[in-house]
Amino acid sequence: MNFPAELKYTTNDEWIRVEGDSGVVGLTDYAQDQLSDIVYVEFSGAPGQQIAKGAGFASVESVKAAADVYMPVDGEILETNAQLPTQPESINSDPYGAAWLAKIKIRDATQLDGLMDAAAYEAFCQERQA
């Protein structure tokens, strides 16, 4: 299980990589492992949309479950990953790399302080595995 140190994490198992006032958002290694084989990705949010922290902007389906992906912080969607609908399995193979879900413009950077760092998120995942 991989928990990259440079990322921030949510309790809904999203990660965000902050780059200045924008960010890249995706699903964590733990999330893809729990979901098992991902077969479908659909975006409900589109570039230009303002989406509040905790609101859904995509849904992923695996062979056994369906899950929504939520915004880690308030922001505007700049881009969604056009590869994902045709290559949903890349979330399983490369959750922190090629399978990013959205690039966003962060509206309120102070919200990032409320997210977990890698160590806290790893502990949170272990707690749930117990």
Partner 1 sequence: MLKTIGVAEVSQLFAGIPAKARYPKLNLPEPLTEMEARGELESIAAANDSTYDLVSFLGAGAYSHYIPSGVDSILRRGEYYTAYTPYQPEISQGTLQAIFEYQSLIVALTGMEVSNASHYDGATALAEAVNMARVIQRGARKKVILSPGLHPQYRATVHTYEHGSDVQLLGEDLDLSAGPEALIELIDEDTSLVAVAYPDFFGRIYDYTALAAAAHAKGALLAVSVNPTALGLLRPPGEFGADIVTGEGQPLGIPLSFGGPYLGILATKQEYVRSLAGRLVGETLDNRGQRGYVLTLSTREQHIKREKASSNICTNQGLMMLAATVYTSLLGKQGLRQVAESCYHKAHYAAAQIGKLKGFSLAYGDTPFFHEFVVKAPLPAAELNRRLLERGIIGGYALGADYPGLEDCSLLAVTEVNSKEEIDFLVESLKEVSRG
Strands (E), 10-130: 14-19, 22-27, 38-43, 50-51, 56-62, 66-70, 75-80, 102-106
User: For partner 1, which is the closer residue by CB, 68 or 117?
Assistant: 68
State which of positions 60-119 bind partner 1 (CB under 8 A).
61-66
State yes or no: residue 128 binds partner 1 (CB under 8 A).
Answer: no
The three-class DSSP label of residue 52 is coil
Query: Site for partner 1 (CB under 8 A): how many residues?
Result: 11
Q: How far is the CB of 64 from partner 1 (least distance, A)?
A: 8
Q: Contact at 8 Å (CB) between 57 and 67?
A: no
State yes or no: residue 40 binds partner 1 (CB under 8 A).
Answer: yes
Contact residues toward partner 1 (CB under 8 A) are 39-40, 42, 44, 59, 61-66
